[in-house]
Amino acid sequence: MMEGLAFMLPLAIVLAILAYRKSPALLRSSMNTAGKRFVEIIPRVSCAILAAGFVGKLLPAETVGHQIGPDSGFYGIALASFAGGITPAGPIVSFPIIVVLMKAGAGFPQVVAFLTAWSVFALHRVLTYEIPMMGWRFSAARLASSAPLPFLAAYLAQAMMYFWKSVN
């Protein structure tokens, strides 16, 4: 969390300086817009963190560890991929859920599969935007061609874990 702040804070300062140099009115306008976005996002983030806390306490660690733990193999990757694909939320909700899953005993490759499926499939976006705008044939082709991605990402993540362990 602090790494993100260490990157974003200097970036925001540099951009503020550039905006001020271009026009002090541009800086004021940018700060006004940022303040409005801040007020819009804070309730969402607060609710997401609260919901993730509830999920963390309600989700039995032994069930998570058994179903999508490090030893769950292909089944755990498939289950995590399915769960990620049907998770109807944006990053403000999904990432706290991912943190909860990891703390509850989910395996690293399974979490990578969850996140990849959430990014690629997002059933709520497919139904709401993709099919109505692009058509069912496009969506079917995209989804079918993307189906191996969570599995590929999970197995690559697992290989990277083994590599990192052998290097250290």
Rounded mean pLDDT, 133-144: 96
Expressed as residue numbers, the domain containing 32 is 2-56
E strand or H helix at 123, and its extent? helix 123-125
Please report the pLDDT score of residue 72 as a whole number: 92
What's the structural domain count of the chain? 2
In the DSSP assignment, the letter for residue 69 is S
Please report the pLDDT score of residue 61 as a whole number: 75
Residues 46, 10: one domain? yes
Residues 70, 20: one domain? no
pLDDT value at 114 more than 60: yes
Look up residue 105 and give its two tokens. 């005993």
Residues 120, 87: one domain? yes
Please report the pLDDT score of residue 5 as a whole number: 81
Half-sphere exposure of 126 (CA within 13 A, CB side): 21
Neighbours of 33 (CB within 10 A): 10
Instruction: Categorize the per-residue pLDDT at 1 as very low, low, confident or very high, splitting at 50, 70 and 90.
Output: low
Residues 85, 161: one domain? yes
Residues 12, 64: one domain? no
- Is 0.95 topped by the overall pTM? no
Residues 70, 123: one domain? yes
Q: Mean pLDDT for the chain?
A: 89
Rounded mean pLDDT, 64-92: 89
Higher pLDDT, residue 100 or 36: 36
